[in-house]
């Protein structure tokens, strides 16, 4: 008989899982600024912006605990390695302290594992010199379970700090099964981030329940307002056996 009790958490715990996503190509400067202010209001973990918006985000978030994240090789991972390194250097110069790097999906599908490792390591090495963390996006929608597991192990070998499910721009995003697979494929020092499809408090709780510590979100306001309400009601608890990421809307 399973006597495990649901674990209570706080709304702040949820906030510090959120990388507020401002990556849509049509976002204006004004919308980026507004998005950063919203992230600051809810004191989330970070704001993830396009490389051209790093300086804008850094200025708005100055003095807050919200970190500036940007993307490298986004969204297909197909940039040359030296271009990814250059992009990472410029992003850090502009104020990024976390980098979400896309794996070279085509090379992974071609099983060019040495290439993949060297590509990741080049960015990790330059980032770690400046105490900047690297999350590697696998884009699981295009991968078999075997390749997801192999990619996780390559990321760990290359020194990455996180493995991440998706860009949010492929036809499919995070799933519970993928998060479980990724969590068991790396050692406990490597963290797991979900992206694509986490739009509700239920989804956020499911991510945490299976070992994810971050998730990308555009629905930050809705998630956080529901988290505050659930906390006040004493019902903000982790599901014991989440089956999915909750309703999509």
203: domain CATH number? Answer: 3.20.20.70
Does residue 155 surpass a pLDDT of 50? Answer: yes
- The answer as to whether 4 is a domain residue is no
1 — pLDDT class (breaks 50, 70, 90): very low
Torsion of CA 87, 90, 95, 101, to 10 degrees: 10
Average pLDDT over residues 64-74: 98
Burial class (CB in 10 A: 0-12, 13-18, 19+), 93: exposed
Q: Helix, strand or coil for residue 4? A: coil
**What is the band of 243 on the pLDDT scale with cuts at 50, 70, 90?**
confident
pLDDT tens digits, residue range 8-48?
Answer: 999 999 999 999 999 999 999 999 999 999 999 999 999 99
Residue with the two structure tokens 């990321």: 155
Cis, peptide link before residue 75, omega less than 30° from 0: yes
> In terms of Cα–Cα distance, which of 40, 49, 152 is closest to 91?
49
Percent of the chain having pLDDT more than 90?
94
Q: 247 lies in a domain?
A: no
Q: Which range (79-93, 176-190, 232-246) has the least confidence?
A: 232-246
- Cα(227)–Cα(60) distance, integer angstroms: 25
Whether 244 maps to a domain, the answer reads no
Tell me the average pLDDT across 56-68. Answer: 98
**Confidence band for 249, pLDDT divided at 50, 70 and 90:** very low
Q: At what angle do helices 113-128 and 145-158 cross, to 10 degrees?
A: 40
The tokens describing 167, both together, are 């860009």
Catalytic residue among 84, 121, 135, 193: 193
| pLDDT score recorded for residue 184 | 98
Q: What predicted TM-score, i.e. pTM, was given to this entire model?
A: 0.95
Greatest CA separation for the chain: 55
Residue 2: pLDDT over 80: no
Answer yes or no: 193 catalytic.
yes
Average pLDDT over residues 201-211: 97
**In the chain, which ranges are continuous DSSP H helix?**
11-15, 29-42, 54-60, 81-94, 105-109, 113-128, 145-158, 176-185, 201-209, 220-233
Quote the pLDDT of residue 6: 79
Domain count across the chain? 1
Q: Would the pLDDT of 109 be above 80?
A: yes
Higher pLDDT, 196 or 246: 196
3-state percent breakdown (helix, strand, coil) of the chain, nearest 5: 45, 15, 40
Catalytic residue selected from 84, 94, 164, 178: 164
Q: Is residue 58 part of a domain?
A: yes
For 169-198, what is the mean pLDDT? Answer: 97
Residue 48: strand pairing partners: 21, 69
In this predicted structure, what is the pLDDT of residue 247?
61
Q: Does the residue 245 lie in any domain?
A: no
Active-site annotation holder among 19, 53, 100, 119: 100
Active site residue 145: no
Q: Is residue 216 part of a domain?
A: yes
What is the per-residue pLDDT for 176? 97
Is 249 inside any structural domain?
no
Mean pLDDT of 47-56: 98
* % of the chain at pLDDT higher than 70: 97
Would strands 18-22 and 98-102 be described as parallel, antiparallel, or unpaired? unpaired
Asked whether residue 240 is assigned to any structural domain, the reply reads no
Tokens (6 digits) for 99: 């980098």
| Boundaries of domain holding 170 | 11-233
- Determine whether 100 is an active site residue: yes
Residue 244 pLDDT: 83
| Three-state DSSP state, 75 | coil
């Amino acid at each position: 008989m399973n006597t495990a009790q649901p674990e209570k958490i706080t709304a702040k715990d949820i906030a510090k899982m959120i990388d507020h996503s401002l990556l849509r190509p049509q976002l204006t400067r004004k919308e980026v600024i507004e998005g950063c202010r919203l992230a600051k209001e809810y004191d989330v973990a970070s704001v993830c912006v396009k490389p051209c918006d790093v300086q804008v985000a850094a200025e708005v978030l100055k003095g807050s605990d919200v970190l500036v994240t940007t993307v490298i090789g986004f969204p297909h991972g197909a940039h040359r390695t030296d271009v990814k390194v250059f992009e990472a250097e410029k992003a850090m110069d502009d104020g990024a302290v976390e980098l979400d790097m896309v794996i070279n999906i085509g090379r992974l599908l071609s099983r060019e594992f040495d290439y993949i490792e060297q590509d990741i390591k080049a960015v990790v090495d330059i980032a770690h010199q400046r105490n900047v963390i690297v999350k590697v996006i696998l884009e699981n929608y295009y991968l078999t379970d075997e390749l997801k597991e192999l990619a996780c192990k390559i990321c760990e070998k290359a020194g990455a700090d996180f493995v991440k499910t998706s860009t949010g721009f492929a036809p499919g995003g995070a799933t519970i099964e993928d998060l479980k697979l990724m969590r068991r494929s790396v050692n406990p020092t490597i963290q797991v981030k979900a992206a694509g499809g986490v739009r509700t408090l239920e989804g956020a709780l499911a991510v945490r329940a299976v070992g994810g510590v971050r998730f990308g979100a555009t629905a930050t306001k809705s998630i956080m307002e529901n988290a505050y309400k659930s906390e006040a009601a004493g019902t903000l608890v982790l599901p014991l056996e989440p089956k999915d990421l909750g309703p999509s809307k």
